[in-house]
Amino acid sequence: MQRIGIITKRNNRKALEIGIKLCDWLKERGLEPFCESELATAVGLPEFDKEGIAEQAELIVVLGGDGTLLSIARHIQRSNLPVLGVNLGGLGFLTAITLDELFTVMAEVLQDKYTLNPRMVLKVELKRGEEIVLSHNVLNDAVINKGVMARIIDLETVINHHLVNTFKADGLIFSTPTGSTGYSLSAGGPIIYPTLDCITVSPICPHTLSNRPIIFPPDVTIETTLTSTDSDDVYLTLDGQVGCAIEPLDTIIISRARHELMFVTAPGKTYFEVLRSKLKWGERYSNHALS
C-alpha cells in the first residue's frame, strides 16, 4: 500500500489534529496521503474530494464517527478497498477502532497483518415515469417517510414482480444488516449480524399492527411505489445524509450493489462487545435512578 486516503470529521479540531499527525506518520514512511480540503490545507498537500479519494486510495482511514464513515461509504464503488474507521469519541458501530489503537493498527495493516469484515451495500434508485432521477449506494438504510403534517401514505411494495403488500404507514425502512442497529431497530426491526446478506423492510408506525418487519434474501429486487395521489410531503432519505422529495407514483427500486464495503476488523473486539456497549445490555438501574 502506498496511497492512503484520510477522511476527517468536518469542523472538528480533534479530528484535524489527529489527521495532521497521521499524515506526518505516513510521509515519514514514504507513503502518500490523500486528503480533503481542510486537512490538505493544514499539511500542504493537494486536495481531493471524497469521490477522488475513493478512486485513488488503496486504504481509507476515517477519523470521526459513524456519520463520517457513511459520508465516504456511498462514494466507494469497489470491493478491494479496505476502510479503517477510527472513533474519536465513544465506541461506534462502524468506527469501532479507538484512537489509542490507531497507529498500532495502521502499522499492522501496512504489513498486511489484518482481516477484513465484508458489509453488504444496497443500490437505491428513484424512478419517475421512465426516468431514473436518483441513484445512490447506501451502507445503512434507505427510508421513505412522510412530513410532520402529512397524512398516512400508501406504499405498494413488490418483490421480483410479486406483490407483497400495500403498506399504509408513516413510511418504510429498507435496511442492510449493518443498518439493522439504526432506524430499523427503533421501528421494531431485528438486530442482524453484520456479515449476513439480507434486506430488512420495516414499516414505520403501520396502520395495521400485523404489518411487521420482513427479511428478504439479498438478491431480490424490491420496488415500492407511492400510490397515495394526494401526498405532497413525502421524502426519500439515504443513510440519513442524502434526501429528496418523492412525488405520487414515483417508484423506489432497491437491489444489492455490485460491491461490498470492506472494514478493517478492530483487534480483540467482537461485534457483541460493541452491541453491549452501545445498547447498554446487561446494565441495571441504580436505586437512585429508580427512586
Domains of the chain: 3-119+260-279 (3.40.50.10330), 122-256 (2.60.200.30)
CB-based burial of residue 85 (10 Å sphere; 0-12 exposed, 13-18 middle, 19+ buried)?
A: buried
Q: Are 215 and 85 in contact (CB under 8 A)?
A: no
pTM (two decimals):
0.89
- Amino acid identity of residue 128, one-letter, is R
Per-chain mean pLDDT for the chain? 91
pLDDT for 142 equals 98
- Give me the residue label for grid cell 411494495: 157
Q: What is the DSSP letter of 150?
A: P
CB-based burial of residue 146 (10 Å sphere; 0-12 exposed, 13-18 middle, 19+ buried)?
A: buried
* CA–CA dist 97, 102 (Å, integer): 7
Check pLDDT > 70 for residue 124.
yes
Check pLDDT > 80 for residue 21.
yes
Express each pLDDT in 170-193 by its tens digit: 999 999 999 999 999 999 999 999
All cell numbers assigned to 25 = 506518520
| Residues identified as active-site | 66
pLDDT band for position 161 (50/70/90)? very high
Round to the nearest angstrom and report the end-to-end CA distance of the chain. Answer: 57
pLDDT band for position 285 (50/70/90)? low
Dihedral sign, Cα of residue 130, residue 134, residue 140, residue 143: negative
pLDDT band for position 241 (50/70/90)? very high
Sequence-distant (6+) residues with CB within 8 A of 78 are 259
Check pLDDT > 60 for residue 93.
yes
Check pLDDT > 90 for residue 168.
yes
Check pLDDT > 50 for residue 157.
yes
pLDDT band for position 91 (50/70/90)? low
Residues in the chain: 291
Check pLDDT > 80 for residue 90.
no
Which of 238, 69, 226 lies closest to 141 in space, CA to CA? 238
Mean pLDDT of 138-165: 92
Express each pLDDT in 61-85 by its tens digit: 999 988 999 999 999 999 999 999 9
All cell numbers assigned to 238 = 439515504
pLDDT band for position 291 (50/70/90)? very low
